[in-house]
Chains A and B, each alone.
Chain A
Amino acid sequence: DAKTTQPPSMDCAEGRAANLPCNHSTISGNEYVYWYRQIHSQGPQYIIHGLKNNETNEMASLIITEDRKSSTLILPHATLRDTAVYYCIVRAAGGTSYGKLTFGQGTILTVHP
Chain B
Amino acid sequence: DGGITQSPKYLFRKEGQNVTLSCEQNLNHDAMYWYRQDPGQGLRLIYYSQIVNDFQKGDIAEGYSVSREKKESFPLTVTSAQKNPTAFYLCASSQDRIVGGYTFGSGTRLTVV
Which A residues contact B (CB, under 8 angstroms)? 32, 34, 36, 41-46, 49, 87, 93-94, 98-106
Contact = CB atoms under 8 A, between A and B. Distances in A.
Determine the interface band of chain B, counting residues with CB < 8 A from chain A.
Answer: 20 to 34
A93 B100 CA distance: 8
B67 interface: no
Given A41-B107, A99-B31, A99-B96, A46 B101 contact: yes
9 contacts: A41-B109, A44-B92, A44-B104, A46-B103, A49-B101, A93-B96, A98-B48, A98-B96, A106-B42
Contacts of B88: 41
Main DSSP-derived SS at the B contact region: strand
Given A44-B104, A94-B98, 11 more contacts: A42-B106, A43-B104, A44-B43, A46-B103, A94-B99, A98-B96, A99-B31, A99-B94, A101-B33, A105-B42, A106-B42
Contacts of A41: 88, 107, 109
